[in-house]
Structure 1
Amino acid sequence: MLGEDDKGAGVTTSRERILEASTTLLRRQGLSGTGIKQILTAAEAPFGSLYHHFPGGKDELADETIRTAGAAYGLLFPAIYGDAPDLVTGTTTAFALAAIDLEAADYADACPIATVALEVASTNDRLRRATADVFNGWIDEGTALFAARGLDESTARRVIIALIAALEGAFVLSRALRSTEPLAAAGRAMEAVVRDALDGAEDTSV
């Protein structure tokens, strides 16, 4: 017989459920607004399971949540841009999908990495490092992807940093205003940035 922590087809472990619940709640409420009991209730996990899987308590859980969610979000880069005919179209799609997802969630769900980063940047160095590691991973992955699509590495890095900053900032404004207008405006601005970068790459190759 399978126990709750046995792995098999269609079986989620208590550890996985805790991470999933933590990701959802951090995305919606941030770190300070999310309590351990709330996470365990959402995960339908007994209290003892938290310290069994995460002996360091809330900080350890938040650290792993950030890194796990960050890796999952990082997969969106190749998924979106890999199917796009060019970087401009991929950028348009990225911001359009972000707007659709945010509106569908009634502006409750945004990026858990940025949500936590705003809280912990000057108060919790362990979690600040976790968010920094995720952002650096996104920058490296995005830089490699953009460089493979025609930009030199320095330009690719500059553009991807601007893209991530524009997306995360637009999430904040959109949630506060309960409008996708900031995401639409940021998307159009980034389309122009990407187009200019590609035009510059073509000029230097002539």
Structure 2
Amino acid sequence: MGLKGAETRDRLLDATQELLEAGGYPGAGLNQVIAASGAPRGSLYFHFPGGKDQLVGESVRRAGRAIGGDLKGLADSSTSVAGFVEAVLRHLGERLEESGWRKGCPVATVALETASTNDPLQEACSEVYGSWEAALRERLAGRTDADDLAVTVLALVEGALLLARTHRSKEPLDRVARQIGVLLG
């Protein structure tokens, strides 16, 4: 694929992610993606012959890798697990607030809307969550309860993001950060 084709594909994925985070799966219709990306309709079908589910699945995976990269950077710069999780919550809170409370978790809305009815999108969401759990588990290495703690911390982060978005306040993230600090010792 040439540079122009890659740029068009990226614009389609960027537009899809913005629409997914703002309006969920129903808010990311193909017409909306085309309008938001400025890409020709034919490009959408060229790059995503599997249609909306392929586009959304790739968008979720791409957003998951981006957040995963953020997690890696924060893990490398944190000296403790609690400090790492606090930095993650602060980063996600800033992302959420800067977006006008529109950008919570780039996976959660799609997972909630489609996991029980759409196997390809359920798999995409599960892959992303699995990669985030692995990043947390890696940071918790050496603890006998690392698997359980990784899932617990991820669930607390996801819940805090939902509450922060709902209340339009970073306070739930701050509270969860304090409690994770206690949980992790």
State the TM-score, normalizing by the size of structure 2: 0.92
1:167 corresponds to which of 133, 146, 157? 157
Q: Does 1:7 align with 2:17?
A: no
Could you tell me which amino acid in structure 1 is paired with residue 172 of structure 2?
P
Aligned match for 1:188, one of 173, 178, 184: 178
Post-superposition offset of 1:134:
1.1
In the TM superposition, what is the alpha-carbon distance from 1:146 to its structure 2 partner? 2.2
Q: Is the 8 A contact 2:81 2:139 kept in 1?
A: no
> How many corresponding residue pairs?
185
Structure-2 residue corresponding to 1:97: 91
C-alpha distance in 2 between matches for 1:33 and 1:21: 11
Structure 2: state its 5+ residue gaps. Answer: none
Q: How does 1:75-90 map to 2 (within 5 A)?
A: 75-90=69-84
Partner residue, 2:61: 67
Bigger radius of gyration: 1
Percent identical across equivalent pairs?
Answer: 35
Contact 1:117 1:131 in 2 (8 A): yes
- Give the superposition deviation at 1:175: 1.2
Shift of 1:48: 0.8
Partner of 1:111, secondary structure, is coil
List runs of 5+ in structure 1 lacking aligned partners.
196-206
Whether the 8 Å CA contact 1:78–1:145 is kept in 2: the answer is no
Listed as ranges, the matches of 1:87-166 within 5 Å are 87-147=81-141, 151-152=142-143, 154-166=144-156
Q: Aligned equivalents of 1:28 and 1:185: distance in 2?
A: 25
Aligned AA (1:174):
A
TM-score computed with the length of structure 1 as normaliser: 0.84
How far apart are the structure 2 equivalents of 1:168 and 1:61? 23
Q: Greater shift after overlay, 52-61 or 174-183?
A: 174-183
Q: Is the 8 A contact 1:21 1:43 kept in 2?
A: yes
Q: Is the 8 A contact 1:174 1:183 kept in 2?
A: yes
1:167 and 1:189 map into 2 onto residues whose CA distance is: 11
Instruction: String of CA shifts for 1:74-94, please: whole Å, max 9, x gaps.
Output: 112221121012212222222
